[in-house]
Amino acid sequence: MINKKKKVIIISIVSIVIIGIVMLLFFPWEKAPEGILIGSSNLPDSLNPILEQHTQALVADELVFDGLVNFEVDAASGKIGSEFAIAENITQDPVTKKIYTAILRQMNWHDGTEVTANDVVFSYKAYVEPVNKSPKREYLQSFIEDVKAIDDKTVEITFRNPIPPFRAFPVLTFKIIPEIFNGKKLAFNLRSGENERLFAVQPIGTGPFKLASWEIGKWLTFSAYPGYFKRVPAAGTLIIRKSIDPVIRLNEFRKGRINLILETSPLDRPKTEGISGVDINWYIPYAFYKVAINSNAPLFNNVFARQALSTSLDRSALVPNVTGRKDTVINYGPFPSNLFSLNMKEYNVKPLEDTMSYDITKAQKLAVSGGINEKTAILLYPDSLGEFGKQLSEGLVRQFAKIGLTVTAKRTGDQVFNRLVFVEKDYELALLYCDGFDNLYSDIDKWYRSDGMYNISGIRDHELDTLFDTWDKTIIMHDWTQVTRQIHDRILSNAPYVYLCTLEKDVYSRNIKNIVIASDNPFLSAENWSLSGL
């Protein structure tokens, strides 16, 4: 019996060895490439910047593609600004003030073919082609009337209204793709054919890095493009590696197996500061947290009820170890309160007026007038906000209780949350993180216009629509700030949201030199990065 058991064990071991050899022969293990390793919760499913993409793909696009203008980060000040990229120069017509002429650089795509004006025209037309469902379509069409090629190296952009350069250049950061790929002309419908679908996973651009390999579900590698117009990137290779679990990702970072973590929680900083050799880059994003109030819900169809919510909050005390930090931007209106100081510091513009700050006595009176004291409500928040979303929701629940409103915070999956809030609009209160804006929040109107795609409050204010029309056409900075104030005040009078804060966003790095991060796109300075000791 013992001998039989030994034989069974030996046979089992031999079988395992044979299976292992077969697996190595037919399914060889591929070693992860070497270079700067970036840990990410997800990998892109497409690298076509025109099509709808999730955040990880939008970030990776910056490595491969350029716009006529790029956002760039100044290494000395850490400030973000716009600089010419594919365009060597852009001039404004002094008479109409809405026609801009771009002269293109002598530069090549990653496959060696030359960039022409037709590529710019093709890209714009592909963005606005309805079948592509580009998330930038409405944004670009709201500003640009037409784009046409004058000759091989000259592009004329006609804006719908007169527009100053400080507002026009951010619009012209949309990424340019080639009209000709793989020797064939791409269709405007970028989902239509084999060549178009191939471009999404084997793209060529003009950016500092070109896609080198794509191991599905594991990693993407990008190699330095020696023909980049600014300089040859210092790092030979960047790897974006999938690491779903944030705890595992941070542990891998602690062990030195990852050089960079982009997706961080505001709660992570104390744990990360204790890791030796860590650099914490932080920046103030063009983003904010707010609570949507459904004015069509019976409980909140009274403006006093909605104003009671805003004035009941001591925002810095919601999650004290985060919202109480000195660099947290406390917001009381639709625009972050640092809008003018961040963009127009040299003009010494007076800040937007705070009319909805914390005043518990006022809030309690408004709650009675609005009929929400001694009532109950549900606050939804999505899984994607994680532990911080949970703590922020709990802070809101505690403070709303002080005006007699009992709120239950309910965590939901992102798909369910988006369906209830954005599609069916079947909610009372919803915690949101809003991002993807430019530095002037140029498309913030989509949250407030009567027909705005993100108008989830149910408030339709035609006077506000008119103010946004004026805002879009205003070209003198002083006048623009005045219209911005009017929009700010008008929205606050309607109280469609409870505005909370803008938080510093952290990016953790180890053993990377020359890393400067100043926006939601961490790769703006990627051509300057290199591994320490190399």
Same domain, 372 and 451: yes
Q: Which amino acid is at 212?
A: A
- We report the CATH number of the domain holding residue 166 as 3.90.76.10
CA atoms within 13 A on the CB side of 512: 34
Same domain, 302 and 430: yes
What is the total count of domains within the chain? 3
Question: What per-residue confidence (pLDDT) applies to 194?
Answer: 96
Same domain, 214 and 230: yes
Question: What per-residue confidence (pLDDT) applies to 169?
Answer: 95
Question: What per-residue confidence (pLDDT) applies to 396?
Answer: 99
Same domain, 251 and 357: no
Same domain, 364 and 402: yes
Same domain, 233 and 104: no
Report yes or no on 212 lying in a domain. Answer: yes
Least confident of 2-16, 175-189, 302-316, 339-353: 2-16
The mean of the pLDDT values for the chain is 90
Same domain, 72 and 178: yes
Report yes or no on 27 lying in a domain. Answer: no
Q: Which domain holds residue 149?
A: 66-195
Given a cut of 50, whether residue 23 has pLDDT beyond it is no
Question: What per-residue confidence (pLDDT) applies to 213?
Answer: 94
Long-range pairs for 69-74: beta carbons < 8 A, 24 or more residues apart: 69/169, 69/170, 69/172, 69/173, 70/173, 70/524, 71/170, 71/173, 71/519, 71/521, 71/524, 72/524, 72/525, 73/516, 73/517, 73/518, 73/519, 73/524, 73/525, 74/516, 74/518
Same domain, 116 and 246: no
- We report the CATH number of the domain holding residue 492 as 3.10.105.10
Given a cut of 50, whether residue 16 has pLDDT beyond it is no
- From 195, 224, 243, the end of a domain falls on 195
Judge whether 506 and 522 are in contact, CB under 8 Å.
Answer: no
Q: Which residues of 305-334 are buried (b: 16+ CB within 10 A; e: fewer)?
A: bbbbbbbbbbbbebbeebbeeeebbbbbbb
Same domain, 460 and 360: yes
Location of structure tokens 């109950």: 376
Confidence band of 436 (pLDDT split at 50, 70, 90): confident
Q: What is the mean pLDDT of residues 469-488?
A: 92
- pLDDT per residue over 69-128, tens digit each? 998 877 777 677 889 999 999 999 999 999 999 999 999 999 999 999 999 999 999 999
Report yes or no on 29 lying in a domain. Answer: no
Question: What per-residue confidence (pLDDT) applies to 21?
Answer: 43
Given a cut of 50, whether residue 17 has pLDDT beyond it is no
Q: Which amino acid is at 75?
A: A
Q: Return the percentage of the chain with pLDDT > 70, whole number.
A: 93
Confidence band of 245 (pLDDT split at 50, 70, 90): confident
- pLDDT per residue over 306-353, tens digit each? 999 999 999 999 999 999 999 899 999 999 999 998 888 777 888 998
Can you give the pTM of this predicted structure?
Answer: 0.77
Same domain, 489 and 442: yes
Report yes or no on 531 lying in a domain. Answer: yes
d(CA 330, CA 503): 9
Greater pLDDT, 516 or 389? 389
Report yes or no on 19 lying in a domain. Answer: no
State phi, psi for 451 to the nearest 5 degrees: -110, 20
Same domain, 261 and 329: no
Same domain, 482 and 517: no
Report yes or no on 59 lying in a domain. Answer: no
Q: What is the mean pLDDT of residues 381-410?
A: 96
